[in-house]
Structure 1
């Protein structure tokens, strides 16, 4: 009995010594490889900074952490294999699968990091539509994640053909159960493809109480920041059933005013109309290629109504009001220059001649 115990202790001691030597050797080798990779990375980074292209910098930045993880993760799995195989006295086939999963994870991680770097770089340049860039990035991420999931499932021995067959039946069940989720997803796809608006646009809907600036377009919902800084979280499926206005894509802004002149100034009305039209045609901020109307438009209760209808060149909201203010002030100056006045609501009381002195009679009594 004592001999068997001593033999077991001797075998355990040999196993521990062998495992410790293997693990220490693998760890030391991993450390050396990691140091070499750090030196190589810094050298590549220095070379990339000297080039005019930005794409090589993005690739190198995306490689750094995944490669470091692979350098330490792969030897770690090997060390774990030595420990478990020596302890259980058998070969563990799942360790090779674990190595494959590590490689897949590192590759997908690298691609996702690269896509994120490219997306940030393109958006920072402001030469591309931010909404389109984000949409393409999400599609690329979804594609590679799907490929990775299918590869992992195949590595576990699952049949992809059987999975796809099950997906036809299961897809119907999932589609019925997640109808709202799918409608929001396809609503987001239609926003990306039809592009009725993009991030940064001012949008509003006459059908709903929705108005503000688009902050983010996601797969499920769109975030709109109202002008009083409240966030609106609108499901994408809503945009399939409502009318959406996009004032950010206006080509011009309209000035449409009705200005009343006193009836006493009817003799100079035609001159005022002519001068205002001339002023608008020569105004640097008025788009004369668009409709321009200045005409006497009708008889009001206490004024001769004149219509001013024109378009500004700017679409900026603040600049538009500055231009409109300048136009209205110049119209007022033209009216005053003709010794006329802008009418305001008045009432005229006419008394018959026989009643003209009635107030004096009443006051004498």
Structure 2
């Protein structure tokens, strides 16, 4: 490759200045360095103008791809130039193997191309998961799963290509992998269980990054921060990180409150037995208040009825749903509803009940023994 690359450049130069033949390898090295510098400057100028022009157009794939491979291609120019220099040095008495330059060029090209593809995958993932007004955002969990799978494929292909370039038999490696896969499977069954657990999470999507989840089976509750191939990181409400192996999600029930459509208000309100005649009107007014409330979803179940005769109160049930699912706003709406219920009860001249007991005493015909009885009870 060295002769094919340099001969068309050096022959006219040596024909014009024959005295340079005595310094042929120095001239060749200088030409290589100059060409690498010129190509780098030209490459930067051309790609910079292309990126600037492509950024004004609607399609983004070409712009993202060019931005991703720009740095690896620039390094590839220097790798090729360095490999040519090493070949020049090795042919002129310097202690450098002749094959070293070719190997550097070959392995460098494979690694830089793989790096460029990996950069493109990362850039595309970031672009499509970043919220931008007017553009539909791709689900972050799905994008993360696809990006990880593509990175794995690129890494495997690059590794096999490097081994093939190094003279290693790929067929032998694949055959050994098929036989050794059984032993590896038994040795790493927990790792594989977590891997396939993560794969099921990606496919079934019971939750995604940013969701609030909890499990009634285990003490797991918090916001999902990251879903990896082995672990899922959850940030608990006291801001502690919780790392859960993915295999766990195959054996437990998971609630996803982030996907609920409404939040429920479920309360029992007790009024005194002395206000029994006013309960019907109180219940009707509370029901009308909820039906007219702007933050109550009347399309959902709404129940306000006298529900039970308590030990010291007449209890009516309030069962309804708010429009909001936000935790803070829900409590603001619930507070407003409860205060309005209190106002309705007081407006009818009724009162809330509190635990009381009425004691009936038998065998007392007059008020005289009462002081002694009270004293006896108190002494006990």
Which deviates more, 334-343 or 81-90? 81-90
Q: What residue is the counterpart of 2:83 in the other structure?
A: 77
Which of the residues 151, 169, 181 maps onto 1:159? Answer: 169
- Runs of 5+ consecutive residues of structure 2 not aligned to the other structure: 1-19, 375-380
| 1:115 shift after superposition | 1.1
Counterpart residue number, 2:190: 180
Report the aligned-residue RMSD: 2.4
2:86 and 2:96 in contact (8 A); partners too: no
Counterpart-to-counterpart distance in 1, 2:76 and 2:64: 19
DSSP 3-state at the match of 2:217: coil
Once the two structures are superposed, residues 331-352 of structure 1 have per-residue CA deviations (whole angstroms, 9 ceiling, x without a partner) of 1111111111111111223344
Q: Please, which of 336, 347, 369 is the counterpart of residue 358 of structure 1?
A: 369
Gaps of 5+ in 1: 1-13
Alignment of 1:58-77 (within 5 A): 58-77=64-83
- Matched residue, 2:12: none
Instruction: Give the drift of 1:94.
Output: 5.7
Q: Which residue matches 1:323? A: 333
Distance 2:371 2:184 in 1: 93
Give distance in 2, aligned partners of 1:55 and 1:168.
37
In 2: Cα distance, 1:266 partner to 1:37 partner: 89
Q: Partners of 2:372 and 2:242 in 1: how far apart?
A: 71
1:276 Cα deviation after fit? 1.3
Deviation at 1:32, TM superposition (A): 1.1
Aligned length: 350
Residue 213 in 1 paired to residue 223 in 2? Answer: yes
The one-character-per-residue Cα deviations of 1:193-252 (angstroms, maximum 9, x if unpaired) are 110100000011112111110111111111111111111111111111211111001111
- Who is 1:4 aligned against? none
Alignment of 1:229-268 (within 5 A): 229-268=239-278
The CA deviation at 1:311 is 1.2
Pick aligned residue for 1:274 from 280, 284, 287: 284
Q: What is aligned with 1:135?
A: 145
Partner of 1:11: none
**Could you report, residue by residue, the CA deviation over 1:165-220 in whole angstroms, capped at 9, with x for unpaired residues?**
21111111211222222211111111111101000000111121111101111111
Inter-partner Cα distance in structure 2 for 1:187 and 1:21: 61
**CA 15–162 in structure 1, closer or farther in 2 if over 3 Å, else same:** farther
Q: Which residue of 1 aligns with 2:321?
A: 311
Q: Distance in 2 between the 1:111 and 1:136 partners?
A: 14
Matches of 2:260 and 2:334, distance apart in 1: 17
Query: Per the alignment, do residues 300 and 104 of structure 1 end up closer, same or farther by CA in structure 2, a change over 3 Å counting?
Result: same
Give the C-alpha shift of residue 56 in structure 1: 3.5
Report which stretch shifted further, 313-322 or 76-85: 76-85
CA distance in 2, matches of 1:346, 1:140: 70
CA distance in 1, matches of 2:297, 2:361: 51
Query: Are residues 305 and 22 of structure 1, via their aligned partners in 2, closer, same or farther at CA, if it must alter by over 3 Å?
Result: same
Q: Please report how far the alpha carbon of residue 53 of structure 1 lies from its aligned counterpart in structure 2 after TM superposition.
A: 3.8
Q: Greater shift after overlay, 242-251 or 56-65?
A: 56-65
CA shift for structure 1 position 121: 1.0
The runs of at least 4 aligned residues of structure 1 exceeding 6 Å deviation read: 88-91
Q: Give how far 1:298 is off.
A: 1.1
Matched, 1:223 2:233: yes
Cα distance in structure 2, aligned partners of 1:299 and 1:46 = 77
Q: TM-score, normalised by structure 2?
A: 0.86
Name whichever of 159-168 and 298-307 sits farther off.
159-168
